[in-house]
Amino acid sequence: MFPPEHSPGPDFNEVLRRVGLSPFAPGSHPDTAQRTGTGGTPGGAWRDGAGAVPPGLLTGRGGAPFDVAHGTTICAVRYRDGVIMAGDRRATLGSAIAHRTMEKVHPADTHSGVAIAGAAGPAMEMVRVFQLQLEHYEKVEGQALSLEGKANQLSQMVRSNLAMAMQGFVVVPLFAGYDLRRSRGRIYTYDPTGGRYEETDFHADGSGGRDARTTIKLGFRDDMSREEGVELCVRALWQAADEDSATGGPDAVRGIYPTVATITAAGFEPVPEVEVAGAFERVIATMSVAEVNRPLEGTLPAAARAEAKPRARTAKRPGTSSTPSGASPSGAGATPSTTRRAKRS
């Protein structure tokens, strides 16, 4: 088909380009002439007027060629005995809610856990394969992989998903565990290319990650207790849900609360939902009116309602009497009619 001096080599895309069947050829797109300003000829690379491949050509819309469910906000915080991981329960499908009860915090093995954000399908598959690999290693070697080894293994899995990430199926996990060798909790974060980074004290990721990180940063302190750490994570997710529509807050009507788990020397342990609900109640009770931003009767605790009442309601308005409504005025302000009614009674 091709003479030796014009061989396309092992590049299949080059073969398609030579025979005029390349997906980037001008004739393969209906509005080529409008985008390039020319009629175009088969065999050339289809590009826009600026000379670059138009964004979204590979996938149709600049991302996945169809709507994909995404997990949203996750966080991890070090505390006195180890690490606390938490994640909201909402998964979104574009601007719609795909799932209200998605689990985003999972045990990786006995002393580590992984939380997921990004494309839900690939993320769940990655978690299952990661759990299987750690279990297989422990059975073959007779001992668990070190915490750093687990973090490196997950990094390789994220890196292997890069091709899918370039098409819109991005998975960004958050890994944490208790290091038995150092007797402390450790947190690892990742980027879509597989880069692994160890965080000192806390981290949050996902669509509401920035708001959650800010909340944790303001409330974090060394040597926190378990109860304080759970409340801090709960507060962070509440603030993230308040600012980010893709993050799900507490749903008392349906009884849906974020997933929270602790990882200590004793292992991975989910926090009971009743305890998480109680933490939310304590957090909301201590919030100021400015944080809640809803000074409506019946929607706030008693202390917040008292603070939310406008002072103008109790202050004396200019030009009005401070006498209670229905009371008989006594003095210069009394009228003959009110005096006669008082005498009759």
> Which positions are catalytic?
72
DSSP code of residue 313: G
- Read off the tokens for 76: 């991890």
6: left (phi over 0), alpha (psi -120 to 50) or beta: alpha
Judge contact between 73 and 257, C-beta under 8 A. Answer: no
Judge contact between 77 and 202, C-beta under 8 A. Answer: yes
Assign 163 to helix, strand or coil.
helix
Q: Are strands 82-87 and 259-264 parallel, antiparallel or unpaired?
A: antiparallel
Judge contact between 174 and 86, C-beta under 8 A. Answer: no
In the chain, what are the helix, strand and coil shares in percent, each to the nearest 5? 35, 20, 45
Residue with tokens 């300003």: 37
Judge contact between 13 and 22, C-beta under 8 A. Answer: yes
With helix as H, strand as E and coil as C, how does 55-67 read? CCCCCCCCCCCCC
